[in-house]
Structure 1
């Protein structure tokens, strides 16, 4: 059977783990697996772009935000991430924003302004559910999902050997996805050495 959606993932996770009695716990295992994947996975399919309106130099981050990839000011200039000490020392200056900091569920820019910023960010994997049975990850790398679920089932069973084997397979599948992502992004790129040349 090919894994293509929520139902087929549930069936294969049961087969691979040797457990056909965990369907009632499947949503819990799936949520835990996605939580762990969101902590470490960063691939192009997770990238989103949003316009964030600011009020007094602060705006709300998108609900699915995980990590900033690029922040652009209203003039299209890239803003840099600032350490909080430097960020706080720029609070009273005027002019176009030069940097940003993430504080809680907000993004703040300094100097303060009321213009919109353009945020490119990594977003959480859209959760799989019976009502939303497909997402980009199950279409692109169903093995990542499968091994992540087998790992969660093994942890629930308190079977350390099985959990370790599933985790190793999950890491291998994630490494393959990461390699494919790097090739997608950089496969045709030229190496350019910056700085002065003799």
Structure 2
């Protein structure tokens, strides 16, 4: 059957599993599958997970968006729009303790549920920024349709079926579902990698015969 939304996904999984006693468990398999896909697809840097938000801050802390997974770029837009560099919290501590600053903000880190600007501009003025980041997949149980089920319904099916196999301790099926998932995720990763590469100028080439 064609899988196009949450309802058809649940129906497809019920047919695959052919276990009436698991009907109430199927939504939980989808939720568990989404949790793992969020981590794996963000690591694979799948471009459909990318979004951006514009805002302003008057302090060194910028609250993370509710659907944030991992940063892509952060630009401070008061003068230059060049991205500043993401660094670890350990490196941030070293920079803070050095006490050296030329008034430029070059770095940021993640602290709890906030972005922290390292050596932020002073003066209390409103500082505009643009954050590009990888966002969580919209939960299908709430959204009914999202970009992933439109782009790759097969990934939703095999990922949820894998969770069902783990629940049932069906060791024979687990390697099969894992292999299918890995193939689909790798194909999506390669597609995104290619689409995010800078594209050079296109030139016409003369075709010769003989």
Report the TM-score, using the length of structure 2 for normalisation. 0.81
Q: What do you get for the CA RMSD once the two structures are aligned?
A: 2.1
Residue 37 of structure 2: aligned partner = 37
Partner of 2:140, secondary structure, is: coil
Structure 2 stretches lacking a partner, 5+ long:
202-210
CA offset digits 1:27-58 (Å, max 9, x no partner): 21111100000111031110010124334211
Larger radius of gyration: 2
Q: Does 1:179 align with 2:190?
A: yes
| Alpha-carbon distance between aligned partners in 2 of 1:78 and 1:184, rounded to the nearest angstrom | 20
| Alpha-carbon distance between aligned partners in 2 of 1:163 and 1:71, rounded to the nearest angstrom | 40
Structure 1 stretches lacking a partner, 5+ long:
192-198
Residue 124 of structure 1: aligned partner = 136
CA offset digits 1:51-98 (Å, max 9, x no partner): 243342111000111111111112312100123344234445352311
Moved more, 60-69 or 156-165: 156-165
Change (3 A) 1:90 1:179: closer
CA offset digits 1:11-30 (Å, max 9, x no partner): 11122233344231122111
Number of aligned residue pairs: give it: 189
Partner of 1:79, secondary structure, is: strand
Looking at both structures, which has the greater relative contact order when contacts are Cα pairs under 8 Å and sequence separation is at least 6? 2
Report the TM-score, using the length of structure 1 for normalisation. 0.86
| Alpha-carbon distance between aligned partners in 2 of 1:55 and 1:157, rounded to the nearest angstrom | 52
2:70·2:134 contact (CA, 8 Å) conserved in 1? yes
Residue 79 of structure 1: aligned partner = 84
